[in-house]
Amino acid sequence: DAKTTQPNSMESNEEEPVHLPCNHSTISGTDYIHWYRQLPSQGPEYVIHGLTSNVNNRMASLAIAEDRKSSTLILHRATLRDAAVYYCIGNFNKFYFGSGTKLNVKP
Amino acid sequence: DGGITQSPKYLFRKEGQNVTLSCEQNLNHDAMYWYRQDPGQGLRLIYYSQIVNDFQKGDIAEGYSVSREKKESFPLTVTSAQKNPTAFYLCASTPTDRNTEAFFGQGTRLTVV
């Protein structure tokens, strides 16, 4: 099963960029890499997803390694509202979540 | 508006009682999932279903049961065999197309006293 590995926590200053890494070395060739984030006592919300190419949307950018064994979620200018737990998922069949990265944003 | 609904938001039960958590979606998604989340922890997969009348165990299925009689509904029963049922339970649904986002309910917080 394509399970993922992420750092437990990261810290950023407000208005600065944040790079959140994820290792998914066993991902299958057809699985998209999805990122979600979760605020306390809420369900996760979608952030971004991609297959091979880098992706951008209004929330973030996703940089995918050429070998697809890792990816990086990029928040270009972190705000206090971005403080959350960020999860990457590499197995769409079972939709496994790892333990995620808790992002703390300092004012 | 399409979405996924979990009910109730808070649920209290006495120890030894079975309890059923509801999850309904009107997104026409084929796959549905149940997760358990303990304080400060990530989401752990309980059961998942990729098609009506079929479901598979996740990592922590013991003490839980599910059914998938309709595409829109995937109820989770927490049985008396679950030794530590107090937790936050989340339901999700995804389409078959992997190039599409998943949707999550807002969760049910179950407290067993």
Q: DSSP letters along A45-88, please?
A: EEEEEESSS-EE-SS-EEEE-TTSSEEEEEESS--GGG-EEEEE
Mutate to test the interface with B, among A38, A93, A96, A104 (most CBs of B within 10 A): A96
Task: Give the pLDDT score at B96.
Answer: 81
Q: Which residues contact A66 (CB under 8 A, 6 or more apart)?
A: none
Q: How many CA atoms lie within 13 A of A54 on its CB side?
A: 8
Q: Could B94 and A32 be called an inter-chain contact, meaning their C-beta atoms sit closer than 8 Å? A: no
Residue B60 burial (CB < 10 Å; 0-12/13-18/19+)? middle
Mean pLDDT along residues B64-92: 96
Of B48, B98, B104, which has the smallest distance from its Cβ to A32's Cβ?
Answer: B98
Question: Given a cut of 70, is residue A2 above it in pLDDT?
Answer: no
Which ranges constitute the DSSP H helices of chain B? none
pLDDT tens string B84-98? 999 999 999 998 887
Of B41, B58, B106, which has the smallest distance from its Cβ to A99's Cβ?
Answer: B41
Question: Given a cut of 80, is residue A91 above it in pLDDT?
Answer: no
Q: Which residues of B touch A45 (CB under 8 A)?
A: 104
Question: Given a cut of 70, is residue B79 above it in pLDDT?
Answer: yes
Task: Give the pLDDT score at A1.
Answer: 55
Chain B: nearest CA to A39, how far in angstroms? 11
pLDDT tens string A29-56? 788 999 999 998 889 999 999 998 899 9
Largest CA distance in chain B: 42
d(CA A39, CA A42): 6
Residues A4/A23, Cβ–Cβ less than 8 Å: yes
Task: Give the pLDDT score at A6.
Answer: 94
Higher per-residue pLDDT: A1 or B53: B53
d(CA B34, CA B110): 14
Of B35, B42, B90, which has the smallest distance from its Cβ to A98's Cβ?
Answer: B42
Mean pLDDT along residues A42-71: 93
